[in-house]
Amino acid sequence: MIKLAITLGDPFGIGPEVVAKAISLLPKRLRKRLVVIGCKAAFKLFFPELDSIEIIDIPCGKFSFDRYRISYARSALAALEEAVSLCKSGQVKGIVTAPVSKEKMARLCKFTGHTEYLQAAFSVDRLEMIFASRSLNLLLVTRHIPISEVPASITRSRMREAILTAADFCCAMNDNRPIGVCGLNPHAGEGGMIGREEKEIIVPVIRMLRNKGIDVRGPFPADTIFRYRRNFSIILSLYHDQGLAVLKTLNPFSVNVTWGLPVVRTSPCHGTAFDIRGQGKADPRSMLASIRMAFRLADDG
């Protein structure tokens, strides 16, 4: 039986709440295939029936929502380490991660995000961030870098790598629509009049891959391509906010899929939301979609 690990993330945030609510909405046959890892004291506030779920407790000291303690971030990090260990030992086939605070985690280790942490943990050269939703699938060509560094990061090798990964993901999802590519500059460069990246880098790569049988099209201006999103299996966004501003407006309950690991990894597309911690207001739909996506990918893999 294929099992998945779910890390509760930062216990001071909404992670334990959305995990508890999402699990409550799952059929019992899927609940039995989950291992919850994190601060039990926080989780049981929202999921008192602890005997009905497998849980690995990562204590975080005396827990309360009154004030933040660094032991909460330490618990979140230890939960992630435990999930990686379970994956490497073959006890689980994937990880669903609830959100953590990068700021708090950075006080404990060199942490810039789950994706980068997992890349190092599994010694993988390159991972992709793919965001999946009902109306739009999105791949980020560049991720968490300053906007000033984006143009230099758009290279031919990087574009080729991203398009090939997009094609691999679409194959796994049985989606044979074309792949769409955003331009970097306004109006996709206007034939080289507004920047040279499209003409010198993006277009040559698209032509080369089309000649190899990959149905990839573009680059299209980013201010229009999303109107026609249903024509594409996935759209490549050249930088973080170019695509995610649209995705999160259209569907705030999408799923982040880390592509390129030897195991499945998904997560909800929201943060810790410390401002609504412990109030019972958190919406579990993105977490529920993340769990279901992880099962889909793990069962098909």
At 189, which CATH number? 3.40.718.10
Range 173-200 average pLDDT: 93
- Domain co-membership, 23 together with 159: no
Query: How far is it, in rounded angstroms, from Cα 260 to Cα 241?
Result: 22
- Domain co-membership, 207 together with 285: no
Strand bridging mode 94-97 / 54-57: unpaired
- Domain co-membership, 299 together with 203: no
User: What pLDDT sits at residue 105?
Assistant: 87
- Domain co-membership, 26 together with 79: yes
Strand bridging mode 34-38 / 4-7: parallel
User: What pLDDT sits at residue 134?
Assistant: 86
Tell me the percentage of the chain whose pLDDT exceeds 70. 99
Asked if pLDDT for residue 239 goes beyond 60, the answer is: yes
Range 39-61 average pLDDT: 94
Cis peptide before 219 (omega within 30 of 0): yes
- Domain co-membership, 172 together with 73: no
Helix (H, G, I), strand (E, B) or coil at 129: strand
pTM of the model: 0.88
- Domain co-membership, 218 together with 282: no
Query: Which residues form the domain of 193?
Result: 135-250
Task: Find out whether 203 and 165 touch, Cβ atoms under 8 Å.
Answer: no
Indicate the pLDDT class of residue 127, thresholds 50, 70 and 90. Answer: confident
Range 25-33 average pLDDT: 94
Range 61-82 average pLDDT: 94
Domains contained in the chain, number:
2
Asked if pLDDT for residue 82 goes beyond 90, the answer is: yes
245: closest CA among 230, 267, 223, 266?
223
Tell me the percentage of the chain whose pLDDT exceeds 90. 84
Asked if pLDDT for residue 293 goes beyond 60, the answer is: yes
Retrieve residue 143's tokens. 């991720």
Task: Find out whether 282 and 273 touch, Cβ atoms under 8 Å.
Answer: yes
- Mean pLDDT score across all residues of the chain: 94
Asked if pLDDT for residue 157 goes beyond 60, the answer is: yes
Q: Quickly list H helices, 198-276.
A: 203-211, 240-250
Asked if pLDDT for residue 300 goes beyond 80, the answer is: no
Asked if pLDDT for residue 181 goes beyond 60, the answer is: yes
- Domain co-membership, 105 together with 244: no
- Domain co-membership, 1 together with 124: yes
- Domain co-membership, 97 together with 146: no
